[in-house]
Amino acid sequence: MSRTRLRLAGALAAVLVAAGVATGPAAQAHDRPPTLAELAQRHGRYFGSATDNPELTDTAYTKLLGTEFDMITPGNGMKWYATEPQQGVFDWTNGDQIVNLARRNHQQVRAHTLVWHSQLPDWLTSRDWTAAELRAVLKKHIQTEVRHYRGKVYSWDVVNEAFNEDGSYRETLWYRTLGPGYIADALRWAHQADPHARLYLNDYNIEGLGAKSDAYYALAQQLTAEGVPLDGIGFQAHLALQYGYPATLEDNLRRFSRLGLDTALTEVDVRMQLPATDEKLAEQAAWYADLTKACLAVRHCVGITVWDYTDKYSWIPAFFPGEGAALPWDEQLAPKPAYFALRTALGYTQ
């Protein structure tokens, strides 16, 4: 859905709600409050969640996933190790499962991710490549995958995590072998394969103004000046209470908007040092609300995606021992203060 269609959908939803007409992926019943997706649609935004294939057997989980959100991101099922496990042999099983689930629920898909330094198959990382060889491999992978999902996804995270914290290019297989031009090439190849998908660069720790976000801003200026098909920047927003809230987020979103680019909060979670306390949960709720308000304040911030919606399936405890409780629903799928703060930030007043 284009920005214009998203805004029109939001305007239409607001009119229908004001008139008492049901809206949303499941018709809005009078005996329940609106979902996060329905509230976001009133602002011309989406509200999404990541998901992953193993948890789709959890029916209580999938019921909430299918009703509360209007945008889905496959957490792992479209990454290189899953889609091209052997050179030239493609497997769409996991990605297709999530795309088909989204279609059944009348949801859209943020496809993630085509070019990354992590979760690559052994055949790709266990040998040396010439620039010509690797360029051909990269082009084939991007275009084969994007063509497979052509017309089925809203957007692609084309290149993921291309910069270090100091704003220098990350020394990946792609950068070492192909140089920084691999980013523009990847965007061009993806656009050739699906001219209608929105194309993003995506990274963490770029929420506030700083060296890393400056590097993306400079790259975005260069790419747009050169006519490279870049549509947006994804701010992952993996945040942690102990490191402080990114107070310059709104200003940062706004400067990318001035370049004519969409922005989105693409992988949101707000972790804390365990155990969770009422005080920490209240602070977390305030952060979720502030993130949402920042997105709503910037015209070209098109939506928010939480990196799965429940602590039951969060990636945080496995990667940050002693931390967790990062999401708006707890491990029992009960809403936390963050969920209610999100609703309030989206304008729900009852």
Residues recognised as catalytic: 161, 267
- Cα atoms in the 13 Å half-sphere on the side-chain side of 185: 17
The full DSSP string for 234-293 is EE--EEEGGG---TTHHHHHHHHHHTT-EEEEEEEEEEEESSP-HHHHHHHHHHHHHHHH
Buried b (16+ CB within 10 A) or exposed e, 196-217: ebbbbbbbbbbbbbbebbebbb
Token couple for 136: 């051909």
Helix (H, G, I), strand (E, B) or coil at 204: coil
> How many CA atoms lie within 13 Å of 48's alpha carbon, on the beta-carbon side?
28
**210 to 17, 166, 207, 252: CA distances (angstroms):** 41, 9, 9, 9
Find tokens 């305030």 and name the residue: 286
Query: d(Cα 3, Cα 1) in Å, to the nearest integer?
Result: 7
Query: Can you tell me the distance from the alpha carbon of 294 to that of 169, in angstroms, rounded to the nearest whole number?
Result: 28
Gap between the Cα atoms of 278 and 350, Å rounded: 23
CB 179 within 8 A of CB 186: no
